[in-house]
Amino acid sequence: MRKKPLVGVTADRTMMGAHPSHATGEKYIAAIVDGSEALALLLPALGAKQATEDVLAAVDGLLFTGAYSNVEPHHYGGETSVPGTLHDPARDATTLPLMRAAIDAGVPVLAICRGFQEMNVVFGGTLHQSVHAVEGFNDHRENKDDALDVQYGPSHSIRLSQGGLLSRLAGGALEARVNSLHGQGVERLGDGLVVEAVAPDGLIEAISVKDAPAFALGLQWHPEWKQADDPLSNAIFRAFGAACRDRMRTRAGLDAALAAAARR
């Protein structure tokens, strides 16, 4: 039996020179390895070429990462994207069916930024394509001219839902400060999702899946950035890692029981 759980980390399909490639940010991998104390496995965006059941049989948890691309709006009945919007149809074809299947199967899921938006879409929700252009909402985008530590530094407060998963991870606190690096956001909440936190302007910042058989949390901000330096971020990755270890041990026990039965 492995000593550490194996977490699948979603990748984007992108061009590296003339070659289609699959990549993800090191910050996500570092947060899984250091914060969740798990092994990280990069999952290429192969769509139907990569059977969902094979992935779920191999991993103890899944991290759905952020990305520069946005979910194609036809997946949630949205209007055509503004010209120049970056999309990744290979990622959509991979992550959307994988996320729902993983949650239904009791595989722990942590979804960040684009992953958070994917979670809402998977459960039938819709997205604002340009939050800053919607009356009543603030501009949640980062200034790309700033240094990374400034871009990923605390930007605004969030109000945590009393008694919710996120509040429990925060030791019962009802407020936290988070970074903000997104242009899109939740418009209509998906069916079966629970609001875990909102921004001061009312935009949903965190969600969980009601009655999910395992850990299933989505966050609009980026807790992976230097997660060890922030108590809430650290608690999130620790809890996710614990859920993945629980699944690893359960699977090992089932495999051992099946093997013993086969020897009889």
Question: Is 130 a domain residue?
Answer: yes
Question: Is 191 a domain residue?
Answer: yes
Q: Does the pLDDT at position 253 exceed 90?
A: no
Question: Is 18 a domain residue?
Answer: yes
Q: 31-63, pLDDT tens digit by residue?
A: 999 999 999 999 999 999 999 999 999 999 999
Residue 129 sits in a domain whose CATH number is: 3.40.50.880
| Structural domain of 236 | 6-262
β-pair type (175-178, 204-209): unpaired
What is the side-by-side strand order in the sheet with 193-198? Answer: 39-43, 6-10, 61-64, 109-112, 216-219, 204-209, 193-198, 156-160, 175-178
pTM of the model: 0.96
Task: Note the residue count of the chain.
Answer: 264
128, 140, 182, 222: the catalytic one is: 222
Instruction: Say how far apart CA 259 and CA 236 lie, in whole Å.
Output: 35
Question: Is 1 a domain residue?
Answer: no
128, 142, 224, 244: the catalytic one is: 224
User: Known catalytic residue: 224?
Assistant: yes
Question: Is 87 a domain residue?
Answer: yes
Q: 134-165, pLDDT tens digit by residue?
A: 999 999 999 999 999 999 999 999 999 999 99
Q: 153-206, pLDDT tens digit by residue?
A: 999 999 999 999 999 999 999 999 999 999 999 999 999 999 999 999 999 999
- Cβ(93)–Cβ(58) below 8 Å: no
Question: Is 39 a domain residue?
Answer: yes
**Who wins on pLDDT, 110 or 264?**
110
Residues paired with residue 95 on neighbouring β-strands, in sequence order? none
22, 72, 113, 118: the catalytic one is: 113
Q: 89-129, pLDDT tens digit by residue?
A: 999 999 999 999 999 999 999 999 999 999 999 999 999 99
Q: Give the E-state strand segments of the chain in sequence order.
A: 6-10, 12-16, 19-23, 39-43, 61-64, 109-112, 127-128, 156-160, 175-178, 185-186, 193-198, 204-209, 216-219
User: Known catalytic residue: 222?
Assistant: yes
Q: How many domains does the chain have?
A: 1
